[in-house]
């Protein structure tokens, strides 16, 4: 079977490399030879072992009937979306690592693949080298999925790890991540949670059967977290992690959120550090299962792409379990109404404001650091909605003081 790669950057060249290295066992698993026929990229790659395969015109892939599987590793939606659509329309299966594309256009591309009886596969779009898409729809098939919670972005997890373990500031940790190549020069998509949001949308769509678009998910990043928050989280017995969460509520709607959370140290996600990712899936039969590994990187991501290439080569027609429907109006609940637990830090709260706060949040767990600043009040309150929390905070802030931080707390009965 012949394949093409669109985009010969980190992931695309990794795919070619892993295919060269483990060809014999990969072809044995695929059940047929896999021949790389073309590589689409604007650039040229003199000296690359595959330099002669590099082409600049996508038509040469589209019009070659021998190319049956196309790996899309360009990133972004333009022109990736047009190219992927054109490949599927011509009856070629597409394997992608592009979470932005899947989160924006997944339902449409899956439907098109089904119409043409081919496959649109995206294991590499979530969790890098961690098998998660395939286990979710295949191995956990006996379960009704109740909840998914994940550390889905390695860059922010690296930054938070440095802030927690080495008391670095956010700015210093980000600069270090950029130096090490873990963060891009424009780190917005990572640090503001957009990347994690796309990934939880993909997982939610697959687990619950209807497309969830990123703009339906309240998303908060980590750029405003300070060393004070890290120290107070420690005081509470936890660490701060950027989580993407989806949970099915009793009324059938979905609670979705992306943002920094206080995670108790006893929770299996609390010890997932550095650039590692981990995804906890709670099923009604299997209970909690966690998948852990490198969430990014050339070879891990390439490995996930190739597992999809093997599936595409073996499949006789569209894989029926990898499908979802159009977004359901009203499927995503108003998360602000859902009871949960929250961490709050206020500054400039003296006598009167502090008393008001303690009255408003009676029963909350108030946190004290050894070197608390004058006027700092911090607490964890449980069993109230964000709307209710904000309402009570407004009462406190009317007296004075400033809201410095507000974060989710990962409650739950793990």
Residues contributing to the site for a second copy (CB under 8 A): 18-19, 21-22, 25-26, 29, 31, 123, 129-131, 134-135, 137-144, 268, 271-272, 283-294, 297, 299-300, 302-307, 309-311, 316, 320-321
- The CB-of-5 to a second copy minimum distance in angstroms stands at 14
- Contact call for residues 30 and 1 (beta carbons, < 8 A): yes
- Contact call for residues 241 and 257 (beta carbons, < 8 A): no
Based on CB atoms, which residue is closest to a second copy, 297 or 340?
A: 297
Query: How far apart are the C-alpha atoms of 397 and 18, rounded to whole Å?
Result: 57
- The CB-of-174 to a second copy minimum distance in angstroms stands at 24
- The CB-of-282 to a second copy minimum distance in angstroms stands at 10
- The CB-of-209 to a second copy minimum distance in angstroms stands at 9
For every residue of 339-395, DSSP letters joined together read -EEEEEEEES--HHHHHHHHHHTTT-EEE--TTPPTT-EEEEEEEE-HHHHHHHHHH
Based on CB atoms, which residue is closest to a second copy, 21 or 224?
A: 21
Based on CB atoms, which residue is closest to a second copy, 59 or 285?
A: 285
Residues in CB range of 162: below 8 A, 6 or more apart: 168, 172, 173, 176, 177
Q: Does the active-site annotation cover 298? A: no
- Contact call for residues 4 and 39 (beta carbons, < 8 A): yes
- Contact call for residues 214 and 197 (beta carbons, < 8 A): yes
C-alpha count within 13 angstroms, C-beta hemisphere, residue 122: 25
Based on CB atoms, which residue is closest to a second copy, 70 or 309?
A: 309
- The CB-of-348 to a second copy minimum distance in angstroms stands at 39
Based on CB atoms, which residue is closest to a second copy, 225 or 243?
A: 243
Out of 99, 114, 116, 199, the active site residue is 199
Residue 260, number of CB atoms within 10 A of its CB: 25
Phi first, then psi, for residue 355 (nearest 5°) are -65, -40
Query: How far apart are the C-alpha atoms of 362 and 263, rounded to whole Å?
Result: 22
Annotated catalytic residues are 199
């Amino acid at each position: 079977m012949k394949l093409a790669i669109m985009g010969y950057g980190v992931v695309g060249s990794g795919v070619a490399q892993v295919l060269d290295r483990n060809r014999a066992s990969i072809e044995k698993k695929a059940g047929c030879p896999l021949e790389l026929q073309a590589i689409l990229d604007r650039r040229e790659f003199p000296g690359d072992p595959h330099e002669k395969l590099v082409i600049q015109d996508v038509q040469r892939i589209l019009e070659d009937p021998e190319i049956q599987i196309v790996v899309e590793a360009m990133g972004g939606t333009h022109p990736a979306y047009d190219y992927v659509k054109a490949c599927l329309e011509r009856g070629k299966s597409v394997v992608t690592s592009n979470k932005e594309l899947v989160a924006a256009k997944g339902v449409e591309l899956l439907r098109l693949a089904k119409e043409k009886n081919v496959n649109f596969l995206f294991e590499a779009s979530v969790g890098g080298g961690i098998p998660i898409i395939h286990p979710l729809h295949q191995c956990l098939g006996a379960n009704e999925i109740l909840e998914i919670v994940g550390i889905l972005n390695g860059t922010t997890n690296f930054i938070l790890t440095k802030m927690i373990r080495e008391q670095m500031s956010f700015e210093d940790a980000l600069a270090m991540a950029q130096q090490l190549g873990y963060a891009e020069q424009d780190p917005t998509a990572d640090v503001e949670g957009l990347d994690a949001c796309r990934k939880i949308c993909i997982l939610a769509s697959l687990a619950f059967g209807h497309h969830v678009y990123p703009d339906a998910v309240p998303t908060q990043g980590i750029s405003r977290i300070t060393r004070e928050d890290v120290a107070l989280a420690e005081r509470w017995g936890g660490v701060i992690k950027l989580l993407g969460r989806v949970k099915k509520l009793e009324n059938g709607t979905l609670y979705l959120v992306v943002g920094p959370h206080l995670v108790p140290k006893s929770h299996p996600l609390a010890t997932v550090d550095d650039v590692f990712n981990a995804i906890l899936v709670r099923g009604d039969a299997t209970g909690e299962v966690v998948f852990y590994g490198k969430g990014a990187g050339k070879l891990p991501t390439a490995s996930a792409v190739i597992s999809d290439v093997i599936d595409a080569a073996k499949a006789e027609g569209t894989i029926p379990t990898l499908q979802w429907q159009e977004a359901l109006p009203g499927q995503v609940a108003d998360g602000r109404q859902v009871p949960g637990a929250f961490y709050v830090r206020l500054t400039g709260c003296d006598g009167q404001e502090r008393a008001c706060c303690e009255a408003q949040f009676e029963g909350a767990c108030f946190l004290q650091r050894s070197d608390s600043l004058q006027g700092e009040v911090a607490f964890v309150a449980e069993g109230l909605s964000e709307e209710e929390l904000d309402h009570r905070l407004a009462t406190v802030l009317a007296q004075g003081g400033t809201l410095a931080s507000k974060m989710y707390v990962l409650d739950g009965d793990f």
